[in-house]
Structure 1
Amino acid sequence: MTAPEVPLLPDDAPDDARSHVGRRLRDVRSRAGVSVSELARRLGISTSAMSQIERGVMQPSVSRLIAITDALGIPLATVFGPGRADAPEDGAHGYAIARAADAAPLPLGGGVTFRRLAPGDSPGIDYFESVYPPGSTATGKDRLFRHEGYEVGEVVSGELTIDFTDEIVVLRPGDTISYPCDVPHRLHNTGSEPAVARWLIVHPDR
C-alpha cells in the first residue's frame, strides 16, 4: 500500500541534505537501466512526482523509499551509498569495520532519518538505524504499508508505535519485535522524544 509523501525538509536545511536521497535514487535507478517514467508506473505515481523526489524537491517518506527500492529490486542499503569499511591490508582475516564518522544519516520526509550500520556489502540483508522525531510517521496518517523481506527491530531509546491491521504495539527501550514485512504495518512516534531503533531486514532471494 502506498501513501503520499510526508512534508519536505525545512527551507533552511542544507542543499546537500535536501537532495541527497533523490541523488542516490537517481543513481541507482540509472544503474538499473530503468527510466523515470517506468519506475513511476511501477509505483503508481506520476512521472512528475518521481522526478521531484530525484531532484530533491520532495523528500520521500519511509514507505515510499522502501517501495522504490523494492520496485528496483535492490537492497534498501544501496541508497545509503557505498558501505565504506576498513579491513586488514592482506584481507586475511575476512572482516570489515565501519567507522561512526563515515555513517552519515539519510534524511527522509517528516524529519525521519536512516543510518547504515552494516559495514561493507551485506548481500541479502539491510541493517540500519532509524530515528523518528515526535509526531513523525513512516507513511500517511492511518495508512498501513507492506514491503519485501522479514524484519527484526529493537528500540534503543524513546517510544515507537507500530500499527498492524488489528492491533497496536508500543515498543520501549530494550523491546524487540519481528514480523514478515508483507504484514500491513505503520511505524510512528507518539511520544515526546525521538525514537531510536535498529533494524535488520532479511531478503532471502537477494
Structure 2
Amino acid sequence: MPHADNALAPLPPGLDVGARLRDLRKGQGMSARSLALRLGISPSAVSQIERSVLQPSVSRLIAITDALGVPLAAVFDARIEPAAEPEAPAGGFTLDRAGHSSSVTLESGVLFRRLSPGRTPGVDYFESTYPPGASAHAEAGLFRHDGYEVGTMISGELTIDFDAERVILRAGDAINYPCSLPHRIHNTGTEDAVARWLIVHPEH
C-alpha cells in the first residue's frame, strides 16, 4: 500500500558554519557583542567566526550553541529554524535518505556530520571525523559543557584526556560520561578517527 514518508530534501554536503551561526544568533535576537561577552572572547573573534575567517573548534562550537540556547543539531540544518524542524508525525517517522545528511568542517579539519534526520528534543546525534593530530579543544586545557555524552568508535583511534586519566578508544570501543566532567578529545593516531556520538541534554 503506498505511503508518504516524511523525507527531507537533499542538502549540500558541507554547510557554511559561520553563516549558520550568524543566522542562529540573529534568530535569538542576540548581538555579536552580547555573544562575545557570554563566551569570554572579543566581538572581533565572533565576527571572524561568523565570516568564516576563523573556523571554530568543536569546544567553541558547543560553547556557542550553549550560549545561544539552541541544540548543536541546529547548526547542521540551514533550511529551517530549530523550533520548526520536522518532527515525526504521530505514529509516523522522519526519514533522511543516504547522502542527504549535512556536515560542517571545523578547526584543524574536524568534520561533524549530523545523523539525526529531524528534531529529536533533548538529543544530538552525530558522527565526527578527526584527522591525525586534530583536537576538539584548541587550547591545551580541558573543557566541559552541558549534557551527557555516549560515544562509539567506528575506525581509527581517539584519545580522551580527563583530569586524572587518559583513555584511548579504538574501533568497537564505547564510552559514556557526563559532559560536565572536564575532558579533551584528540586524535593521537596516524589515520582518520571516526566516531558516533549521542549527547543527551538535561531537561530544563
For structure 2, the 5+ residue unaligned runs are: 1-12
Distance, in Å, in 2 between the alignment partners of 1:49 and 1:77 is 23
> Alignment RMSD, CA only?
2.0
Q: What is the letter of the counterpart of residue 178 of structure 1?
A: N
Asked if structure 2 preserves the Cα contact closer than 8 Å seen for 1:62 and 1:139, the reply is yes
Q: Which residue number in structure 2 is paired with residue 30 of structure 1?
A: 26
SS of equivalent to 1:186: strand
Instruction: Provide Cα deviations, 1:2-33, integer angstroms capped at 9, x if missing partner.
Output: xxxxxxxxxxxxxx96x701011001111111
- The answer to whether residue 169 in structure 2 is matched with residue 187 in structure 1 is no
SS of equivalent to 1:100: coil
Asked if structure 2 preserves the Cα contact closer than 8 Å seen for 1:85 and 1:97, the reply is no
Asked if structure 2 preserves the Cα contact closer than 8 Å seen for 1:85 and 1:99, the reply is no
Asked if structure 1 preserves the Cα contact closer than 8 Å seen for 2:25 and 2:31, the reply is yes
The ranges of structure 1 where at least 4 consecutive aligned residues each deviate by more than 2 angstroms after the TM superposition are: 82-87
Q: Which residue number in structure 2 is paired with residue 12 of structure 1?
A: none
Distance, in Å, in 2 between the alignment partners of 1:92 and 1:121 is 14
Q: What is the letter of the counterpart of residue 25 of structure 1?
A: L
Q: What is the letter of the counterpart of residue 95 of structure 1?
A: F
Q: Which residue number in structure 2 is paired with residue 4 of structure 1?
A: none
Asked if structure 1 preserves the Cα contact closer than 8 Å seen for 2:17 and 2:52, the reply is yes
Distance, in Å, in 2 between the alignment partners of 1:193 and 1:199 is 19
Q: Which residue number in structure 1 is paired with residue 47 of structure 2?
A: 51
For structure 1, the 5+ residue unaligned runs are: 1-15
Deviation at 1:143, TM superposition (A): 1.5
- The answer to whether residue 102 in structure 2 is matched with residue 104 in structure 1 is yes
**Segment of structure 1 superposing worse, 75-84 or 180-189:** 75-84
Asked if structure 2 preserves the Cα contact closer than 8 Å seen for 1:114 and 1:129, the reply is yes
Q: Which residue number in structure 1 is paired with residue 38 of structure 2?
A: 42
Q: Which residue number in structure 1 is paired with residue 113 of structure 2?
A: 115
1:175 maps to which of 166, 173, 197? 173
Distance, in Å, in 1 between the alignment partners of 2:39 and 2:90 is 44
Matches within 5 A, 1:1-206: 20-81=16-77, 82=79, 93-205=91-203
